[in-house]
Amino acid sequence: MTTLDIPELALVALVGVSGSGKSTFARRHFLPSQVLSSDMFRAMVADDENDQSASADAFEALHHIAATRLRRGRLTVVDATNLQSHARAALVRVAREHDVLPVAIVLDVPEALAWDRTQGRADRTFGRQVLTRMQRDLRRTYGLLAREGFRKVHVLRGVEEIEAAEIRYEKLF
């Protein structure tokens, strides 16, 4: 079992390619109300969780709700790929503005597995090259997370490690 220590109040960024299991992990370990997913916010602003043209508006709304939750002292999990530096920087900024620790949980599965899973989903229609690009972005991300301000970086490699992970909350004081 891998124990992931997380402060009781944190902004948790899930990081992983499409099909790595972020939403599944979020469902398993957190309350539905703690999880802000990019899909949910795209649907909220555009009635379509895959409408990429809605991403800017969706993330603006997501960051706003994340900020509100942190101001109120609620642990918040961001379920998005978080593979781009600028996307992660926005989360670190929101966390810092509220004196909350930003934490990253990276889910790293073999690209072939993520692709297999994606092909089995009616709600994902992108091509293989999109996944390959995400995988490349993930490789780059490893060297950046700590520098970007994530105070804890938990990396789960492979399905077994992901499935065996447990969250343990650290008391703040």
Distance CA 58, CA 36 (A): 11
CA angle 65, 66, 72 (to 5 degrees): 90
> 107 phi and psi, to 5 degrees?
-105, 115
Q: What are the residues facing 103 on neighbouring strands?
A: 12, 152
Residue (100 or 162) nearer to ligand GTP, CB:
162
Distance CA 92, CA 77 (A): 12
74 binds ligand GTP (CB under 6 A): no
12 binds ligand GTP (CB under 6 A): no
Binding-residue total with Mg ion (CB under 5 A): 1
Q: Residue 93: helix, strand or coil by DSSP?
A: helix
With CB under 5 to 8 Å by kind, the binding choice for 159 among Mg ion, ligand GTP, none is ligand GTP
Q: Which of residues 4-63 bind Mg ion (CB under 5 A)?
A: 23
Binding-residue total with ligand GTP (CB under 6 A): 14
The footprint of ligand GTP (CB under 6 A) covers 16, 18-24, 81, 117, 124, 159, 162-163
